[in-house]
A and B are shown apart, each in its own frame.
Chain A
Amino acid sequence: EPEVTQTPSHQVTQMGQEVILRCVPISNHLYFYWYRQILGQKVEFLVSFYNNEISEKSEIFDDQFSVERPDGSNFTLKIRSTKLEDSAMYFCASSVGRDTQYFGPGTRLTVL
Chain B
Amino acid sequence: GDSVTQMEGPVTLSEEAFLTINCTYTATGYPSLFWYVQYPGEGLQLLLKATKADDKGSNKGFEATYRKETTSFHLEKGSVQVSDSAVYFCALSFGSGNTGKLIFGQGTTLQVKP
Contact = CB atoms under 8 A, between A and B. Distances in A.
Contacts, number: 65
Contacts of B72: none
B44 interface: yes
A101 interface: yes
B99 A48 contact: yes
Secondary structure call for the A interface: strand
B102 A101 contact: yes
Interface in A39-65: 41-45, 48, 50, 55-56
Contact of A105 (B42, B98, B101, B104): B42
A29 to B, nearest CB: 12
A33 B101 contact: yes
Contact of A103 (B32, B45, B105, B106): B45
Contact of B100 (A42, A95, A105): A95
Contacts of B34: 100
Interface residues of B, number: 26
Nearest to A105: B43
A91 to B, nearest CB: 6
Contacts of A104: 43
Contact of B44 (A43, A45, A99): A43
A102 B102 CA distance: 11
Interface in B56-114: 89, 91, 93-96, 98-107
23 contacts: A4-B43, A6-B43, A31-B100, A33-B101, A42-B106, A43-B44, A43-B89, A43-B107, A45-B103, A55-B99, A56-B98, A91-B44, A98-B95, A98-B99, A100-B34, A100-B46, A100-B49, A101-B102, A102-B46, A103-B36, A103-B43, A105-B43, A106-B43
Interface of B: 32, 34, 36, 42-46, 49, 51, 89, 91, 93-96, 98-107
